[in-house]
Amino acid sequence: MKIAVLALQGAFIEHEQRLQQLGAETFEVRQLADWLQPMDGLVLPRGESTVQMRLLDQLGLLKPVQEAILRGLPVLGTCAGMILLSSGYLGTMNIRVRRNAYGRQLGSFHTVGQVEGIGEDVPMTFIRAPYIEEILSPDCRPLAQVDGRMVAAQQGCQLATAFHPELDADLRLHQHFLQMARHNVIVG
């Protein structure tokens, strides 16, 4: 099991550590040459979505990444990664996301909540986080809500969370993602 982690900017090392703990191999994607290796899945980490989007474009990665996801490459996007997947950015997931939805850093918080298919006690850390304002197609379903806001969703092999599973010791979400990747036909 080989997972690519987008390493343009942000906290990608934390994802690599979690995936490696679960026995997966990881490699960093910093430019087009890195992208050309075979992979079973892709992680879009947190960071600043404006920075990541710009670098994807400048490094010629935007189209290849977008096409691979549309062809069915399993992908996990957290926080900025969820923004990248959403409508108006890569647009592979039919969700509309509000950036900095909880305001500035003083609005960042930690909680525990239910995620469908994962458990009732999933730790959730929100750092200048977005949430999902609207789901735009029936094949995309919300997986979690916090205070009435949608904070996780899945559409086919695309999994997006507004919070940061890579920051807590709980490995269930990454495990769920690896299972998705394992059951998927390998996409080159």
Residue choice 38, 88, 106, 188 for contact with another protein (CB under 8 A): 106
Answer whether 154's CB lies under 8 Å from 143's CB.
yes
157 flagged as catalytic = no
Q: Is 169 in the site for another protein (CB under 8 A)?
A: no
Tell me which amino acid residue 14 is. Answer: E
Given 15, 16, 157, 164, the catalytic residue: 164
Which residues sit opposite 99 in a β-bridge? none
Tell me the C-alpha distance between 53 and 142, whole Å: 24
140 flagged as catalytic = no
Q: Is 37 exposed, middle or buried (0-12, 13-18, 19+ CB in 10 A)?
A: exposed
Residue choice 3, 4, 5, 12 for contact with another protein (CB under 8 A): 12
Tell me the per-residue interface mask from 64 to 103 with another protein, x by CB under 8 A, - otherwise.
---------------xx------------------xx--x
Q: Is 127 in the site for another protein (CB under 8 A)?
A: yes
Query: Could you please report the per-residue DSSP string of 9-76?
Result: SSS-HHHHHHHHHTT-EEEEE-SHHHHTS--SEEEE-SS-HHHHHHHHHHTT-HHHHHHHHHTT--EE
110 flagged as catalytic = no
Distances, alpha carbon 110 to alpha carbons 89, 107, 147, in Å? 27, 10, 13
Tell me the C-alpha distance between 187 and 72, whole Å: 7
By rule CB under 8 A, what count of residues binds another protein?
35
Q: Is 108 in the site for another protein (CB under 8 A)?
A: yes
Q: Is 15 in the site for another protein (CB under 8 A)?
A: no
Query: Judged by CB, which is closer to another protein: 15, or 174?
Result: 15
Given 15, 16, 157, 166, the catalytic residue: 166
Q: Is 18 in the site for another protein (CB under 8 A)?
A: no
The contact set with another protein (CB under 8 A) reads 7-14, 30-31, 46-48, 50-51, 54-55, 58-59, 79-80, 99-100, 103-106, 108-110, 125, 127-128, 164, 167
